[in-house]
Structure 1
Amino acid sequence: MARTLLQVRSSKAFLVFAVCFAISTIVPFAPTALQEKAGLPLEDVPRWTSILLTLYGAANTVVSPGCGYITDRVQSRQRPFLMGLLTLAAATALLCVGKHISLWIIGRLLQGASAAVVSTVGIAMLVDNFDGEAALGQTLGYVAMATIVGTTAGPLLGGVLYEHGGYYAPFGLAFGLLVLDFIFRLAMVDSRAIVEHSNSGHPSTSDEASWTDKSIIDKKQTVVESRVSEPLHDNCRSRGSTLILLRSPRMLTALLVYLIISTSMTSFDSVLPLFVHDTFAWAQTAQGLIFISLMAPQVMSPLYGYTIDRWPRLRRYQAAVALLSAVPILVCFRYVSQNTLQDKVLLCALLTLLGTCFAILEPPIMVEMSCIVEELQSQHPGIFGKGGATAFAYGLSNCAFAVGAMAGPFLGGWVWDAYGWATMGWVLALPLGASSLLVLSFFR
């Protein structure tokens, strides 16, 4: 029975579920609570809402690379994963009891830091287990889907629960999810730690070590051993994984495209609610629900990831076609201008098509980053040291996405306010179209 339980805990299906659940854990944030709980004047609420959202992104940006670097150099990825959970719990508690704006500031900073840890370490754990297999793209597609679910459901459910259940209702949901998250993270078996323990030859008193038989270790060792056992070249010791990865045109292209996707997607956060209010006279609930059209296509990300698993040579073409397809879609937003049923349907259709392009884009970019690290390690064994650079690479990608998420609302709001809705469409379209050429030139 114990061995069967261990096999379930160490299975790839359970690992994917636990990581995706952690990434999608809902973080409540109801801006209207700033007035009721923190005592801010009504006229200051919009300004502080923007500040708190920016602080979240800033913490995510700063913590992600460092978290990835450290995670590559510790024996177990599960420990920083648990630390991310504890940080999120502390942040949620601060927001729950926060009667002063300083507690909200600290809480949002901790939330951003925990998001950086969870996404960076979680993706690295998945790559450790799936790298070199035919399911990596599909697995990372689930991660992309989970990211959007958490990002979208957090504010949406937080606002609904706050409106109908009071201030503490969204936090009750959050703490319940945190308990489940804690159980799942403890139940996971870290293949990286198992392989290192197996290679060390020392006995262990832990339950996992005593239950782990040779068949389970062998399954994990083929994937992880190349990272944790490679010799470190002396001439590479001083270079560091930062400069090595950032000197790669492929990595720079992947990071730039990820930043552009994030900027384009989040540009609608500040503009879309105001646009539908001014054009269609939609109330607050409808302003929030319209984002479902943009985010719903992400549920198909695992399918798009499967296509690049099935036909790896099409990876760059899939990304380039999605980038080019987004250009006419964004330009066509100019035709949504009247308060008519036709324009409302057209807006929802365009948002769905744009969301589909973004969903198609994410898996090939994430897989490309893993391939870059693996190819550098195979060409120059030990170039990244004993721990490799998988977590650091995804820390950089998370940093790029966070920068785009901070820049997007400001860019979209400024262009819309200064030049109008039609201009915003082609301003967002130009970088996407140009980046398709970079993808065709540098991706493999």
Structure 2
Amino acid sequence: MSEDAEERSDLNVNRQRYELHCSNTRRSESKAAAQTVDSDIDDAIDGGAKANALSPVRSNIILLFVAINNTIVWTAIGLMMPFFGGEALKKVPSPSLANHFVIGLIFSIATFVEFLAAPFLAKDLVNVGSKLMLVLSTFEISAMMFLFSFVNKIESWSIFLAMCLTIRLVQGISTAANFVSSFSLLVGAFPESSGLVNGVLRCANGVGYAMGPALGGVLYDAGGFALPFYIISGVLGVNLVLLVMFVPSSETVLSSVKLKSNISYIQLLSVPWVWMVIINLIIGVSIMGFLEPVLSVYLKNSFNLPTIYAGIGFFIMSVAFSAVTLPVGYCVDRSLNPRLMQAVGLLICGIGCELVGPAPFLPLPKSLAFCYIAMVLFGVGDALVAVSSVPDILRTLDAQGLGSPGEMRAAAAGLFQAGVSLGYGVGPMLGSTITAAVGFEYGTSIMGVVYLLWTALFSIAALSCDKLLIVQLENLVKGHS
């Protein structure tokens, strides 16, 4: 009996060992199968993207019409700059500091909403679809421009303010959706050319931003407040039909994958230098927004000039921005240090701020020529800051080992958009409030001091943590000597 018991015990042990072995084998096979499935999914994404890649003709069609759409949208954004500030002042019951702040808020609220809405819209992009989001956002911007043509007929200041803020709020959401969907469509059409995508969008935005104020000033002088909004609403409507007809609805898998990133913003913002670049962007572009509500009033009060001259000033600034963007991007991609370019750009903007008034402490007379020279400096300086900021963020994230190249590009694009949106949002409120408090000349002079002080702080920080920058500066000095 004992031998039988021992045999049965051995059999049970062997059976348990066999079952354990089978269980482990099944687990290993299951794990291997899961890994195979994950690998197959990744391969399917990559291979599917290649298989579903658009033909060169279809890709170029997307490029053409998305670029045209962005140009028109940014023309609509800049359309009201030359004349709306003066028209809004006519509605103000009393010229208080609070009312000037609210006028600046009308300009700013669209960019604040854009900053808040863009991350959520990017997440919904996969479900909605890039083309559908682009078409819907373009329709909404066109509708908001048409509604804006009627606000000047409202006599009540409170109702006028409520309507303006509501329209601008919806416009901000639509603009964010337009940017996200445009970026997605172009990445899907050109999955290996993210630099081209960013370059095309920035150039289109710059051209539109240049055309908007000039066109707005001309149409306002020709037909009054409503005509600019009628015209741009109609152009957006025609463009909407072209988007529906000619932009292909099929998109590669990469058009949604590229916008996804596993890097959290908490990780990004834990890197100190990221904050430096974001502050650079906020300060760098804020001067554009600063001038939006006040430049036309300054030119009219100082030189008795019509609105078109303010539009010309914004046009000059945007042309300078667009002209410098591509050469600077080329140089930064090659060997030029992006932190050096940001410091130079901030310094140029600071000089422009002291010249545009000009500053009361400068022995210079008020002159339209000085104003336009300052606008050129603003365009060049902002281009240097904007173009070099993304490479700087990418280099910083790469040094920290945060994510894959694709994830870092998505993260850098998000941080760039956040900084630019905040800068555009803060600028108009600062312009209206500071100018109402101390005047245009002192207001721009204060901004210039802020630029110059931050340039010094940024330069010291860059030199203290970037040995490569020191070497490049030494070589530059030796080369000149």
Structure 2 length normalisation: TM-score? 0.65
How far the C-alpha of 1:300 sits from its partner, in A, is 0.7
Task: Give the counterpart letter for 1:58 in structure 2.
Answer: I
Task: Find the residue that maps to 1:338 and give its secondary structure.
Answer: coil
The correspondence of residues 315-330 of structure 1 with structure 2, limited to 5 A, is: 315-330=338-353
Q: 1:397 aligns with which of 416, 419, 422?
A: 419
1:111 and 2:171 aligned: yes
How far the C-alpha of 1:364 sits from its partner, in A, is 1.7
1:194 and 2:258 aligned: no
The 8 Å contact of residues 72 and 391 in structure 1, kept in 2 or not, is answered as no
The correspondence of residues 190-269 of structure 1 with structure 2, limited to 5 A, is: 194-196=251-253, 241-269=264-292
Q: What is the alpha-carbon distance in structure 1 between the residues aligned to residue 116 and residue 406 of structure 2?
A: 18
Q: What is the alpha-carbon distance in structure 2 between the residues aligned to residue 428 and residue 379 of structure 1?
A: 31
Q: 1:93 aligns with which of 116, 140, 146?
A: 146
Q: What is the alpha-carbon distance in structure 2 between the residues aligned to residue 313 and residue 224 of structure 1?
A: 32
1:358 and 2:416 aligned: no
Q: What is the alpha-carbon distance in structure 1 between the residues aligned to residue 458 and residue 136 of structure 2?
A: 36
Q: What is the alpha-carbon distance in structure 1 between the residues aligned to residue 352 and residue 421 of structure 2?
A: 27
1:60 and 2:111 aligned: yes
Q: What is the alpha-carbon distance in structure 2 between the residues aligned to residue 151 and residue 409 of structure 1?
A: 19
Q: What is the alpha-carbon distance in structure 2 between the residues aligned to residue 22 and residue 174 of structure 1?
A: 8
Q: What is the alpha-carbon distance in structure 2 between the residues aligned to residue 295 and residue 227 of structure 1?
A: 28
Task: Find the residue that maps to 1:10 and give its secondary structure.
Answer: helix
Q: What is the alpha-carbon distance in structure 2 between the residues aligned to residue 166 and residue 270 of structure 1?
A: 18
The C-alpha deviation readout for 1:305-334, integer Å capped at 9, x for no partner, is 442464155333322332234444544543
The C-alpha deviation readout for 1:345-400, integer Å capped at 9, x for no partner, is 34433432332122222222244456667x49974469979x96576445423432
Larger radius of gyration: 2
The 8 Å contact of residues 259 and 400 in structure 1, kept in 2 or not, is answered as yes
Q: What is the alpha-carbon distance in structure 2 between the residues aligned to residue 397 and residue 403 of structure 1?
A: 10
Q: Residue in 2 aligned with 1:338?
A: 365
Cα–Cα, structure 1 residues 435 and 382, in superposed 2: closer, same or farther, change >3 Å? closer
1:9 and 2:33 aligned: no
Q: Which has the higher contact order (CA 8 A, sep 6+)?
A: 1
How far the C-alpha of 1:290 sits from its partner, in A, is 3.4
- Unpaired segments ≥5 residues, structure 1: 197-220, 231-235
Task: Give the counterpart letter for 1:118 in structure 2.
Answer: N
Task: Give the counterpart letter for 2:142 in structure 1.
Answer: A
How far the C-alpha of 1:260 sits from its partner, in A, is 0.2
The 8 Å contact of residues 134 and 178 in structure 2, kept in 1 or not, is answered as yes
Q: What is the alpha-carbon distance in structure 2 between the residues aligned to residue 25 and residue 175 of structure 1?
A: 11
Q: Residue in 2 aligned with 1:144?
A: 202
Cα–Cα, structure 1 residues 158 and 40, in superposed 2: closer, same or farther, change >3 Å? same
The C-alpha deviation readout for 1:51-83, integer Å capped at 9, x for no partner, is 355135224313434322431453233333333
The 8 Å contact of residues 294 and 354 in structure 1, kept in 2 or not, is answered as yes
Cα–Cα, structure 1 residues 428 and 9, in superposed 2: closer, same or farther, change >3 Å? same
Percentage identity across aligned positions? 18
1:172 and 2:199 aligned: no
Q: Residue in 2 aligned with 1:218?
A: none
Structure 1 length normalisation: TM-score? 0.70
The C-alpha deviation readout for 1:402-433, integer Å capped at 9, x for no partner, is 33334441465245469566555334432344
The 8 Å contact of residues 216 and 311 in structure 2, kept in 1 or not, is answered as no
Task: Give the counterpart letter for 1:109 in structure 2.
Answer: L
CA RMSD of aligned residues (A): 4.5
The 8 Å contact of residues 90 and 107 in structure 1, kept in 2 or not, is answered as no
Cα–Cα, structure 1 residues 309 and 249, in superposed 2: closer, same or farther, change >3 Å? same
How far the C-alpha of 1:114 sits from its partner, in A, is 1.9
